Amino acid sequence: MKRGAWIASIAAGAMSFAGAAHATLLQGQPTPEAVNLQPAATEIMRDITSFHDFLLWIIIAISIFVAALLVWVMLRYNRHANPTPKKFTHNMFVEVVWTVIPVLILVAIAWRSFPLIYEQERIPEAELTLKVTGNSWFWNFEYPDAGVTIAANLLPEEDARAEGRPYLLATTEPLLVPVDTTVRVLVTSNDVIHAFAVPAFGVKEDAIQGRVNETWFRVDTPGTYYGQCSELCGVNHAYMPIEIRAVPRAEFDAWIAAQGGAFASAEPEGEGATTTEQPAAAPSTTPTR
Ligand SMILES: [Cu+2]
């Protein structure tokens, strides 16, 4: 292939990548041929995406700089261009520069990443507690305060095709969560190590037997969000997806009731009609256990 053809094909490839990146990304699931992260449904994921883009520019700049240095050295200092090399080995200025600039780059990265890690790891005052248990190979979801437990299995391929839902992502029993609600997630496992991961929420937490890990999310965009087990857990690792529907609070409460559950009366966001509480007993933030 001629050089021009190579350049043309690389340019065409880059343009199709860019086109895919700018095409409408599907919400809550991967978009075929797309290259970017899934659209964020939580503030944390927006911050993660922004941090990812920031890192990408640093990576691009360093890659171009190092490649240019390599090309310059290969052309300027090869045996023909530079037949009698100089014999010096140290250069104070260059050594200071190549130490200080990487340190400054790392400080800039830490400046942005440490607050983000803190936000992810600090569990805020939760309005709802969700317990997630990994099994070989399906997920159990439990709202302990409402007495609701569901088991989500992989939706069989023929059912997924018939219902127009994504095979390998859809489940037999989608989990509902209310939007604009801080959900604390307790993650554990019944057998081997799994991992509860929902990309659009910016959540990925190991599910370990005999141990409870904590994470949280607050979905601000209604929709259906898919995730997958993200720890290689055995032969059916690829067949234990996660399907979460973020819905308005009223729809969530109706779903809880349909599952035969009810929040304890101490929970003002529960079935409020059946409990009478003093207004003072219902603070704006409701700690749950
Ligand atoms: Cu698993």
At which residue do the structure tokens 């978009």 appear? 31
- Kindly compute the dihedral angle of the four CA atoms of residues 135, 149, 166, 22, in this order, to the nearest 10 degrees: -100
Is 128-264 a domain of CATH 3.40.50.12280? no
Ligand 1 centroid – CA 243 distance (Å): 14
Alpha helix stretches (DSSP H) within the chain = 3-22, 43-76, 92-121, 157-163, 249-258
Specify the pTM. 0.79
**The pLDDT of residue 29:** 95
Radius of gyration of the chain (CA): 26
Range(s) for CATH 1.10.287.90 in the chain?
25-121
- Which CATH code, of 1.10.287.90, 2.40.70.10, 1.10.3720.10, 3.20.20.80, is assigned to 25-121? 1.10.287.90
Ligand 1 centroid – CA 194 distance (Å): 4
Ligand 1 centroid – CA 241 distance (Å): 9
Range(s) for CATH 2.60.40.420 in the chain?
128-264
The residues of the chain scoring below 50 in pLDDT are 19-20, 267, 270-289
Long-range CB contacts (< 8 A, 24+ apart) of 278-283? none
Q: How far apart, in Å, are the Cα atoms of 256 and each of 148, 221, 268?
A: 7, 20, 15
**What CA–CA distance (Å, rounded) separates 106 from 96?**
16
**The pLDDT of residue 217:** 97
One DSSP character per residue, 217-242 reads E-B-S-EEEEEEE-S--STTGGG-EE
Ligand 1 centroid – CA 222 distance (Å): 26
**The pLDDT of residue 14:** 56
**The pLDDT of residue 286:** 45
Backbone angles phi, psi at 84, to 5 degrees: -120, 95
**The pLDDT of residue 194:** 97
